[in-house]
Every structure is written in structure tokens, then in C-alpha cells.
Amino acid sequence: MTDPSAAVADPPSPANLDPRDRLAIALDLPSAESALAMVDRLDGQCRWFKVGMELYYTAGASLVRTLRDRGFEVFLDLKLHDIPNTVAGAVRSVTTTGASLLTLHASGGERMMQAAAEAAAAPGAPRLLAVTVLTSMDAAALNHIGITSSPSEQAIRLARLAQRSGLNGMVCSPQEIALFRAELAPETLLVAPGIRPAGAEAGDQRRIAAPGAAIRDGASLLVVGRPITQAADPAAAAAAILTEIASAL
């Protein structure tokens, strides 16, 4: 069984030159069985896996521990958003799983993020990433919920607040990577979903980029799901993206 106190890996960063340290494959699948079958099909192409709400709500913490016991790092994408005490308790619960990264919504506010950061000071706790503006949202979508700022303006506003609150990094669209890298502390982890290799469909993503461009702009970790997991040969699809990443390092 994984010892949570020793679970947190060195964070992915622009200094990590092994492409496998810069790619997290999103296991957006309905069950532990389908997720582990996909892991096997990937044949060692990846060191990081993202476990999101769909999978976590069915498979639970045991899947995270299974992935850790098999030698993988886990990015737990739960997007926590609640009152400060509840979020802090969730962070403490996640610490027992051995996950290396955990997300929460920056829109939950400063007090919520500070409470989470305090809970994450415990040994073995995950590094915390603030979700700024979802990559599925564009200016029109923000306007519909009363935010008149552009996606980039809203994202950097929330990112600055998250950094002041003690969080380790941000989830941002590829279009904000260069801005975040210029504006935030140099050690900030920048995790970019919305990555689409050449020829891939955008799906429900709006603010996207190719893997090489995102790495050159300063992304620490790229999150790729459907272009790999829905490919006829997931291992080959992952290998092609790793090649794109390597060309940009």
C-alpha cells in the first residue's frame, strides 16, 4: 500500500526534460475496470494520469491508490468549491490517497483557498491547483453569468488571488499560459487542458492549442484525454503527442 507521506512527486515544470513528465492522460472513463484497461493499453507511455469527477465518483479513492501502487502519479481533478471548512476537510481526505495534484475553483474565494492551503501543509498532501476559467468557456459564456471581462482578464485576476492565497499552481487554457508565465511567480505550476494535436476535433473545448505550442509558452503539464483515449491505438496516439512535446523542449 502506498505511504501517503511519501506520495507527492517532484512537480512537473519547464525544467523536466523527459516528455513523459509533461503529459497527463485524462482517464475520463466510467469505471475503474475501463480506466485500468486503458492504462494497460497505453503500455507505459505516460507517468501521470488525471482522475476527474466522472471516474472518482464511481471508483473512489481506491483507484487512486491502485494507480499509485502501480508507480503512476495521479492528478486528482475534483474542482473543489464549497465553504472553507468543507474544502479543507476534503484536502485532508485526499491526502490519504497519495494523489500528487488536486484542483479547486479559484472562484471559491480567498478564504476558501487559504483554508485549503493550510490543510495541504500536512506531510504527503497534494499540491493545489486553482481552476481559473474553464477551457469550455469563451467571452459569451462568461457574459451569460455576469462576467464582462474577457476570459484572459478573468483568468489572470483569479490566478493572482490564488497565488496570494498560497496555492502552488493554476489550471489555465493554452491561450493564457504565456500570460501566466510572465505574470506569476516563476515556480508556479501551469497545467493546461484543452490540448489538441494537429487534426484532432476540438469537442466541447473552446480555447485550445497544440502540444508543442503549449510547452513553448511555458506549460508545466499538459492534460490530454479524448485524442488519446478514443484513438484506435491509444499508445501510438500518446507517443505522437510525446514526440510533439519533445520537439518543444
CA–CA separation, 128 vs 185, rounded Å? 15
* Mean pLDDT computed over 211-238: 93
pLDDT mean across residues, the chain? 89
In the structure grid, which three cell numbers stand for residue 171, read together?
A: 489550471
* Mean pLDDT computed over 45-54: 94
How many structural domains compose the chain?
A: 1
CA–CA separation, 62 vs 90, rounded Å? 16
CA–CA separation, 218 vs 212, rounded Å? 10
- pLDDT level of residue 16 (50, 70, 90 thresholds): low
* pLDDT score of 134 more than 90: no
**CATH number of the domain within which 90 lies:** 3.20.20.70
pLDDT of amino acid 205: 45
CA–CA separation, 11 vs 199, rounded Å? 30
pLDDT of amino acid 195: 87
* pLDDT score of 207 more than 50: no
Catalytically active residues, by annotation: 79
- What is the pTM assigned to this prediction? 0.88
pLDDT of amino acid 196: 73
- Structural domain of residue 91, as residue ranges? 4-248
